[in-house]
Structure 1
Amino acid sequence: MNKGVSVYLDLLRILAAFAVLLGHAQGYILPALPKIIASHSEEGVAIFFVLSGFVIRFVSIEKERDWQTYAFARFTRLFSVIPIALAATFLADRIGLALAPSYYAGIPWYGADYAGALLHSLTFTNEIWAQSSTFGSNHAYWSMGFEVQYYILFALVMFLPRRWAVPAALAWALVVGPTIAIYLSLWLMGVATFEIVRAGLPAAKGRKGQLAGLAMFGGSLVLYGIVKFGFRDLKVPMTEFRDIPSLLQSCAYYVGVALAVVFNILGANCLLQERDVFSHRMVKAVRWIAGGTFTLYLVHQPLLTLARAAIPDYPARPLLAGVVVLAITAVCYLLAELGERRKHLYKRAFLWVGQLWRSQPREGMAN
């Protein structure tokens, strides 16, 4: 993958993560944030799905060419962050409940059954058949119940013998239900985008290539604006299942958002093929910020919930609320130092545990 495109994908990941953060911050403690800035949280998740499909297809070709490597890489990526995120959620909720139990009781999605929700969260079955299971106040975790199911489907299709791939995909759809299956379209658009980039399309170079890139890049922004502000009545939160027609209408809205992301990436790919626009310092900064976005996404909401419980007069104290949002961001990045940025250490630990388990004598073998 072109270095410039890789950096740009990290920029999109940062944009999506902070869109979710700011959207939630407005709902909790910063109501004064303009909607033009803070109304893109759900669209940010759609961007994540497209990026995820793009990246997973890339690594399956370049790095993870067998199911063992693929599964281990996904496991390491997930479980270098998720235990920390769930522990942070539990701790934040305990403190918040001690400060303002009535506030938590009024949160529609708050899940007080931590033990039951923990099982669903760790097995990523929290959104199967639209039966949402929330671990405490961490409603943002819902997307993991979609994304990890897409990882599983991708593995079934890529690594099973061809004669089993289609039956396995159909069985997968029956297990996960219509909501996850229908929104798979967003993830597959990311896979298709990588294939287009991999094929070297659009093929025009020089001035024509730059003009094509500008047209797609600019067009993507126009398309996003049209979908966002012209068809927002179609949008239903991805976790909210009403009926199949409304689900399809809402999916069409998010497909429009995803299509804008696809054109945006393709336009950036054209523009960055022959230009080195990112300085070394900028690349380092972008990589560092992007390297903590998974933790930021999975931890920010329970911290915002705690902040809302601790600051009951938040509308009258916007400056304090703004400082708190910055502090929450800092805490998330500190936690990323313990997990997300130490993925290589977790990988070694998981490998060591696996080797230790394999070295143990099996019952009856000694006889």
Structure 2
Amino acid sequence: MKSQTSNSRFLESSSSAYLDTLRICAALSVLIYHVYFHWLPADKITVAFDRISHTAVVVFFVLSGYVIAYTTSNKNNSANDYFIARFSKLYSIVLPAIILTGIAQYLIKLFSPELILNYGRNAGISHYIISALFCNEIWFYSAAPQLNMPLWSLSFEFWYYVIFGLFYYRKFQRSSLLLAIGACLIAGPKILLMMPIWLFGYFAYKIPQKFVLNKFMTWCAVSISILATFILVYFVKPLSDLGTYPLVYASQFLTDWMIGAAIAIGLYFLPTTDARAKMNNTALSIRKIADLTFPLYVLHLPLIILWDTFLKLDKNISQNIWKPIIGVLILSGLMGVFLERYKYLYVSFFTRLLKTLKMNQRKN
């Protein structure tokens, strides 16, 4: 074993493939859970995927923190580059998803009004506006449109980006630190309670690897972290049910911390190198699929409900449930590819916005 203390490390192809595979598995578990919950709420598969789907969000938080640590360490982005990249990524998918959700609500009311009884809570226009501003989960508020409840986690992630960015790129002035503290006060206790999970991912990359294990031992450590995660999910009972007020989606934060720590430990041991290297073809193929998991996560629930509105599964539901799973995968994938082509519009918008804010700040 040799010492490795550099804070700038690059991922090997196998490590990149592992991270992307985690993203794919997490997104698919959420999709499968919501499809089964919609058509077969009491099915064994639905019960099995119930807690896994929430664990998938914990996975996303850990991965998000890890990726931010990687990009801020190796790309040396400025504060402007950081915020433009983060906001463009979120809004290029979330804004169309909110519009799709509103269209879905209108069509369901028109063609399948009985479904709106199940998804009618938080359906007012104010909830769409609040969700577009990523304020639907601040403090003890929980107001994502029920037709697209996965938007709750994007509110959490948005504030992690903001809080981290304001702190990481702060100037050594009291006013700069006050901005970061102000963002924490706006986000509120729910979001802050789950932030350690995001930070576990961040520090899994940032903490230097004191010793580099051989490949076999490295992947043994990663495998142990996966096993520990499954043990925690299935054998450690949360102190509170998910959705319990006032913490709502943060109500299981203690067990979520443990699960997040287990996942992060696995990421810490991922093989890295001192020099950037090209990913192999297998890793590149997995990356292309993984890049579609974000649109899948944000678009899948309204697509599921629209599928039920226009393509009923009245007979042999358990045998035909694969149809909406495959259908929604294809639809969200095509929409994701389409939306990615216009991401530059969001980059341009936020670039101009930040320039305008800076100019106004100089004038004042």
Tell me the TM-score normalized by structure 2: 0.83
Equivalent of residue 232 in structure 1, options 237, 241, 251: 237
Whether contact under 8 Å (2:87, 2:350) holds in the other structure is no
1:242-281 paired onto structure 2 within 5 Å = 242=246, 250-267=252-269, 269-270=270-271, 280-281=280-281
SS in 1 for 2:86: helix
Aligned to 2:216: 210
- State yes or no: 1:186 paired with 2:226: no
- State yes or no: 1:21 paired with 2:31: yes
Q: CA RMSD in A?
A: 3.2
- State yes or no: 1:147 paired with 2:157: yes
Question: Matched residues in 1 for 2:180 and 2:245: separation?
Answer: 22
Whether contact under 8 Å (1:300, 1:332) holds in the other structure is yes
Q: What is the CA deviation profile of residues 221-241 of structure 1, one whole-angstrom value per residue up to 9, with x for unaligned ones?
A: 22112211121343543x543
Q: Which amino acid aligns with 1:40?
A: I
Q: Which amino acid aligns with 1:347?
A: V
Whether contact under 8 Å (1:120, 1:126) holds in the other structure is yes
SS in 2 for 1:128: coil
Q: Which amino acid aligns with 2:266?
A: N
Q: Which amino acid aligns with 1:21?
A: L
Aligned to 1:121: 131
1:161 offset after TM fit, Å?
Answer: 2.2
Number of matched residues? 344
Question: Matched residues in 1 for 2:162 and 2:230: separation?
Answer: 33
Question: Matched residues in 2 for 1:235 and 1:218: separation?
Answer: 29
Q: Which amino acid aligns with 2:286?
A: V
Change (3 A) 1:280 1:341: farther
Q: Which amino acid aligns with 2:307?
A: A
Change (3 A) 1:64 1:16: farther
1:297 offset after TM fit, Å?
Answer: 0.4
Q: What is the CA deviation profile of residues 24-64 of structure 1, one whole-angstrom value per residue up to 9, with x for unaligned ones?
A: 12211255463445641100000000011111122222235
Q: What is the CA deviation profile of residues 267-304 of structure 1, one whole-angstrom value per residue up to 9, with x for unaligned ones?
A: 4x14x769xxx994422321111111110000001112
1:71 offset after TM fit, Å?
Answer: 1.2
Equivalent of residue 70 in structure 1, options 82, 85, 91: 82
Q: Which has the higher helix share?
A: 1
1:91 offset after TM fit, Å?
Answer: 2.1
Whether contact under 8 Å (1:220, 1:264) holds in the other structure is yes
Aligned to 1:49: 61
Q: Which amino acid aligns with 2:182?
A: A
Aligned to 2:116: 104
Question: Matched residues in 1 for 2:183 and 2:348: separation?
Answer: 31
Question: Matched residues in 2 for 1:345 and 1:170: separation?
Answer: 31
Structure 2: gaps of 5 or more residues: 1-9
- State yes or no: 1:59 paired with 2:71: yes
Q: What is the CA deviation profile of residues 65-107 of structure 1, one whole-angstrom value per residue up to 9, with x for unaligned ones?
A: 3211111111221222122212221222222222322321233
Change (3 A) 1:307 1:130: farther
1:309 offset after TM fit, Å?
Answer: 4.5
